[in-house]
Amino acid sequence: MIELINIAKKFKNRVVLHDISLSVADGEIVALLGASGCGKATQSKIIAGLIRQDSGDIRLNNKAINDLPPQKRNIGFVFQDYALFPHKDVFENIAFGLEMRRLPKNKVMSRVHRTMEILEIRDFGNERITHLSGGQKQRVALARALVMDPDILLLDEPLSALDPVLREKLREELKNILKSTGITGIYVTHDLTEAMIVGDKIAIMNEGEIQQIGRPEEVFYRPKTEFAARFVGARNIFEGWVVELNRDRATIEVINGSNPFKIYTIRYPIFERKKNISLCIHPEDVVLGSEKKDNSIRGVIIGIIQNGPALKIIIDIAGLELHATTTRRLLNYEINDEVWVSFNRNAFYPLCGKKCRSPTR
C-alpha cells in the first residue's frame, strides 16, 4: 500500500498542494479526478520522485521513501504521451527497463513475453512504434510499466490522446487488465466517466485539496461539497432552511429571492429545525410533467440542449435555474412551455462538507 501524509508543495508563490493525505490499499485503484491545474499530476509526480514535496511523508509498504530517487522506488509510470522510443520496436520498448537493471537475457525474454501475452500484444512484438495505432501504443506503454513488477503503478491521463470511440472501448479493457494483475494504482484523469469505470475509489481534487474521496457511487450520489456536487453533475443546488421535521421526512423552504418554495426530502440526522442547509439533486432526478404532484413546483422551459443521445432541459422557477435530463422521445414540451417540476424526496442529498450519516428510516 502507499500512504501520503500531509503532502504540501509550492511553486514560487503558488501553493499547488495543501497538506494532502491519501491511502491506497494493496490491489486498489484510486482515481485522482479534477480539472487541469488542480494538483493531481503534481501529486503523482511527487509519488514517483520526479518532484520533491516541500513537506509531508510518502510511505510505501510502511517504509518512508521520501529520500529515494525515482529509480529505487519501484513505481511504474504511464505518461499521457506514452513516452515510447520511436526508434525501437515493441519488444525493445518493453524490455528497456529490465535491461537497464541488467537482468539476464532469458529472464528479460520470459517477463516481456508474459506481459505481452497478458496485454494481448504478442503478435506485433517486432513492429515499430510509429506503425502502431493509438490503442496499441497505450498497451505497449502499460506493458513497459507492468513488466517491471512495480509496487505502485501511476497512470497520468493514459487515454486522453485517443479518439472518443477508442477511449470508451479501452476504459473497460484497462480496468480489467489492472484488476487481473492485482496491481495497486493511482489513475490521474479529468474525465468523470473514466474515473468511475477504472477507480475502486475516486478522490475529487480542487485547488490542491482533496474535496472528497470514496467509492464511485458514493462520490456520485452523495457529494459532500458544492464543488464536488457540480463536478459530478449534481448541478442543482438548493439553499434553504429546515421548517419542519417528521419521523422520516423533512420540509425545506428553499431561498429564492421573493419567491421561496417548499420541498420535501428524507430526514437526515444533520437536519435541525430552523437550520440552514444546502441540498443537491442530479438532473436525471428532476421530472417534468403536466400535473401537479406532492413534491412539485411550476416552472418554464427556457432551454433545450442536445447532449449526445440525451437532452439537457433548463427550467426557470421564478428566477431559479434548474437542470433536467431526458431524451427526445420522452420530451413533450418546447421552449417557453410551462411545466410542473417534481422531485422524489429520496433524490436530495445534503452538502454537509463532511461525510453525512445515512438518513433515518
Residue 171: pLDDT over 50: yes
Mean local confidence (pLDDT), 143-155: 92
- Supply the CATH classification number for the domain 230-350: 2.40.50.100
Which residue intervals of the chain bear CATH 2.40.50.100?
A: 230-350
What is the pLDDT, as a whole number, of residue 31? 96
Residue 35's alpha-carbon distances to 147, 161, 252, in angstroms, are: 31, 16, 33
Q: Are 30 and 10 in contact (CB under 8 A)?
A: no
CA 282 to chain centre: 17
354 pLDDT tier (thresholds 50, 70, 90): low
Report the percent of the chain where pLDDT is more than 90. Answer: 73
Mean local confidence (pLDDT), 88-112: 93
Mean local confidence (pLDDT), 7-31: 94
pLDDT digits (tens, 9 = 90+) for 322-351: 999 998 888 889 999 999 999 999 999 999
pLDDT digits (tens, 9 = 90+) for 293-305: 889 999 999 999 9
Domain 2-222: CATH superfamily, name plus number = P-loop containing nucleotide triphosphate hydrolases (3.40.50.300)
Q: Are 116 and 146 in contact (CB under 8 A)?
A: no
The whole-angstrom separation of Cα 49 and Cα 145 is 16
Q: What is the mean pLDDT of the chain?
A: 91
Residue 276: pLDDT over 80: yes
What is the pLDDT, as a whole number, of residue 360? 42
CA 75 to chain centre: 22
Mean local confidence (pLDDT), 168-174: 83
pLDDT digits (tens, 9 = 90+) for 195-234: 999 999 999 999 999 999 999 999 999 999 999 999 999 9
> Which range (52-56, 173-177, 181-185, 259-263) has the least confidence?
173-177
Rounded to two decimals, the pTM is 0.87
Residue 163: pLDDT over 60: yes
What is the pLDDT, as a whole number, of residue 32? 96
Alpha carbons within 13 A on the beta-carbon side of 126: 0
Mean local confidence (pLDDT), 245-267: 93
Name the more confident of 223 and 354: 223
Which residue intervals of the chain bear CATH 3.40.50.300?
A: 2-222
The whole-angstrom separation of Cα 121 and Cα 132 is 11
Residue by residue, what is the 3-state secondary structure of 174-224?
Answer: HHHHHHHHCCCEEEEECCHHHHHHHCCEEEEEECCEEEEEECHHHHHHCCC
Q: Which of 172, 156, 180, 32 is nearest to 82 (CA)?
A: 156
What is the pLDDT, as a whole number, of residue 317? 94
Residue 361: pLDDT over 50: no
